[in-house]
Amino acid sequence: MNENISPLFIVDAMFGKLGKFLRLLGFDTEIANSDLKDSQIFEIALKTNRILITRDKKFYETAQSQLKKRNLSPNMALFIPFQEIVEELVEIFSILGIDPESFIWKEGEDIPFQSFQSRCSMCNHELIIVEKISIIEKIPLNSATNFMKFWQCTNDNCGKIYWIGRHWEDIRNKLIKVKRIMQDR
């Protein structure tokens, strides 16, 4: 995979958790509305050059048939039958040649948001570094006291604020598991 080009994804509604995880890793990831028909999701994927990720075998097979008819890469639609984030990431990263090492930071180091340009897990917009003083009234007191670095969603309709809490250690551990599994294959 070209390291300068990050794939775009669209996941069907059953992959909401995976979609949010991919966003935090910096992947532009749309989570399809559950009201959309498979054909609509597929058309969105084609129009926006996104890789479709689904757990629906029939949808996947239909997508593969359409990709073949259009002479497009079969990797533009992925069938991921797993229901755990680590297994899902192993499959996606393996198929697309994505190295999980690039997302793992050393224990005790700051999370390198800048190196993988994390996105808002809620709305998929980019995050920017913000001064604590500008958001102090929007965050819990203990977070304002215990953390120095903050990021905010650039979408005015969202504006979610992020900081490096304990959940990031869980994310790091999942990525380490992904790396180990991929190395053992």
**Per-residue pLDDT, 1:** 41
Residues whose CB is less than 8 angstroms from the CB of residue 97 and which lie 6 or more positions away in sequence, other chains included: 1
Asked whether the predicted pLDDT for residue 31 surpasses 80, the reply is yes
Whether the predicted pLDDT of 3 surpasses 80 = no
DSSP secondary structure letters along 68-134? HHTT--GGGEEE----SHHHHHHHHHHHHT--GGGG---TTSPP-HHHHT-B-TTT--BEEEE-HHH
The stretch 4-20 carries a mean pLDDT of: 91
Q: Are 141 and 153 in contact (CB under 8 A)?
A: no
List, for residues 57-116, the tens digit of each pLDDT value.
Answer: 999 999 999 999 999 999 999 999 999 999 999 999 999 999 998 888 766 666 655 545
Mean pLDDT of the chain: 91
Grade residue 6 by pLDDT with cuts at 50, 70 and 90: confident
Q: Distance between CA 161 and CA 152 in Å, rounded?
A: 4
For residue 34, pLDDT over 60 is answered with: yes
Provide, rounded to the nearest whole percent, the portion of the chain with pLDDT above 90.
Answer: 79
Is the pTM value of this prediction over 0.75? yes
Long-range contacts of 24-32 (CB under 8 A, 24+ apart): 24/118, 24/119, 24/121, 24/171, 25/103, 25/116, 25/118, 26/116, 26/117, 26/118, 26/119, 27/119, 28/119, 28/124, 29/119, 29/124, 30/124, 31/124
Angle between helices 85-96 and 167-184 (to 10 degrees): 50
What six digits make up the tokens of 96? 């697309």
Q: Where is pLDDT greater, at 173 or 4?
A: 173
Query: In the predicted model, is pLDDT for residue 179 greater than 80?
Result: yes
